[in-house]
Amino acid sequence: MADSTELETRARAVLSPVLGHYTWLPIERGEGSWLHIQGGRRVLDLTCGIAVTPVGHAHPRVVAAVRDQVAKLSHICAGVALYEPNIALAERLVEIAPSGLDTVFLGNSGAEAVEGAVKLARQATGRAGIIVFRGGFHGRTTGAATLTTSKSAYRRGYGALLPEVHTAPFPYPLACRIGPEHDAEVCGEHTLAEIDAMLDHEIPPEHVAAFLIEPVLGEGGYVAAPASFLRELRALADRIGALLIFDEVQTGLGRTGTWTAAEKVGVRPDILLLAKALGGGLPLGAIVAPRELHAKWQTSTHGSTFGGNPVSCASGLATLDVIRDEGLVDRANHLGRVIVEELAPLRRESRVREVRAYGAMVGVEFDEAASAKAAIAGALAADVLLITCGAHDQVVRFIPALNVPEDDLRAGARTFIRAAQGAVVPASA
Ligand SMILES: Cc1ncc(COP(=O)(O)O)c(C=O)c1O
């Protein structure tokens, strides 16, 4: 193993070992798509801190907005008094969200948005049942962990979690029990048949408050549900009087080549959840839904001290401005194509099962975790930071900043190929 740094030694002594670490890189600062590591090394960040920094690190417009706001007002609580960035961000989200989703609750994180959405769905429908999809990741709080099925380890040892949560399969051909030799549409039909069976055998339709789905599995492996499946799910929710919640915490705000995945597939959810990229690097989450639905959420039965904090909102607004002004939503599609083009040689590798892209979310599925982990270790040894996802960490995901210079991205992808082919031997090997 590479020598540990002084920062790592201190971290291991004082921080809880519960947090899993992809790396122990001691970072001094970030600039654009580059991380400057103590000691002078520079690493290309193709993780965006797990899909959080869409305009890179320390973008001058975001830094200026944060400085300006923190000097004016860093906190008052949205329930105590009004402030401009909070309202302006909500107004901007309404412009970005599918039509009709015109009312916003701001929180601090993805998990908090998910938990709030479940409370909203249950209270508004008077029903308790939530149907989630296998492989989905919705967060680490107790409720969100109950809804999360990307890895069973996320529930280990936690005893009884939320009641009335039911898990349907997700249309993921490579993980499907009917075998991998079919396309996503067929998998979608199979999944819908499974949901019908659930409604016959496990949960009466009139008990279902909501379907909660990531249109593209994030932590679960970078797998997109086909548009046809999501349209059918929308129709099913309407038929049984349930709500459709899209968890777009990882997909939202340009990453998919549209402002939301909902826009890309042409399906309007009842509730849209955003976080991660929303704060441009600061903590922020949002529950976006039609006013008539929010109106059924009884006043004061939900709230948050820090939710929609002025500095996070200013950072989020500046980030959305940069995404809009620099045309980064369209660029996400281009970046995905660039990565797929560069990774073409990997398709010949027997250990690579699939390379798939959805806007600027690209997943490379390997035969097993060891192959994926060796590839990211090799890439890191050559100064390219990537992380895995998938139930077994068998998928490497590319999550570049949407303004990453194309040459850097191409060079990073080529480095990854050499690492995946075993041409770069990590120091820890
Ligand atoms: C789709 C999705 N939902 C919810 C969450 C939880 O977000 P947070 O970590 O901000 O609580 C995540 C985090 O990875 C996510 O990817």
Instruction: For the chain, give every residue range classified as CATH 3.40.640.10.
Output: 61-325
Protein fold of 6-55+327-420: Aspartate Aminotransferase, domain 1 (3.90.1150)
Q: Separation of 276 CA from ligand 1 center, angstroms?
A: 7
111 lines ligand 1 (CB under 6 A): yes
Q: Ligand 1, from 250, 260, 306, 395: best to mutate by most atoms within 8 Å of Cβ?
A: 250
The owner of tokens 């399906």 is: 267
Please give the torsion angle defined by the CA atoms of residues 199, 203, 207 and 213, in that order, rounded to the nearest 10 degrees: -70
Which ligand 1 atom lies nearest to the CA of residue 50?
14
pLDDT at 429: 41
Instruction: For the chain, give every residue range classified as CATH 3.90.1150.10.
Output: 6-55+327-420
137 lines ligand 1 (CB under 6 A): yes
pLDDT at 195: 97
| Residue 70, phi then psi, degrees to nearest 5 | -65, -30
139 lines ligand 1 (CB under 6 A): yes
Q: Separation of 398 CA from ligand 1 center, angstroms?
A: 17
Q: Separation of 217 CA from ligand 1 center, angstroms?
A: 11
Question: What is d(CA 373, CA 10) in angstroms, rounded to the nearest whole number?
Answer: 25
Protein fold of 61-325: Aspartate Aminotransferase; domain 2 (3.40.640)
**pTM summary value:** 0.97
248 lines ligand 1 (CB under 6 A): no
Pull the structure tokens for residue 391. Answer: 């139930």
Question: What is d(CA 429, CA 419) in angstroms, rounded to the nearest whole number?
Answer: 12
Residue minimizing CA distance to atom 16 of ligand 1: 250
Q: Separation of 275 CA from ligand 1 center, angstroms?
A: 7
Local confidence pLDDT in tens for the 429 residues of the chain: 456 799 999 999 999 999 999 999 999 999 999 999 999 999 999 999 999 999 999 999 999 999 999 999 999 999 999 999 999 999 999 999 999 999 999 999 999 999 999 999 999 999 999 999 999 999 999 999 999 999 999 999 998 789 999 999 999 999 887 766 788 888 999 999 999 999 999 999 999 999 999 999 999 999 999 999 999 999 999 999 999 999 999 999 999 999 999 999 999 999 999 999 999 999 999 999 999 999 999 999 999 999 999 999 999 999 999 999 999 999 999 999 999 999 999 999 999 999 999 999 999 999 999 999 999 999 999 999 999 999 999 999 999 999 999 999 999 999 999 999 987 767 654
Q: Ligand 1, from 48, 272, 276, 306: best to mutate by most atoms within 8 Å of Cβ?
A: 276
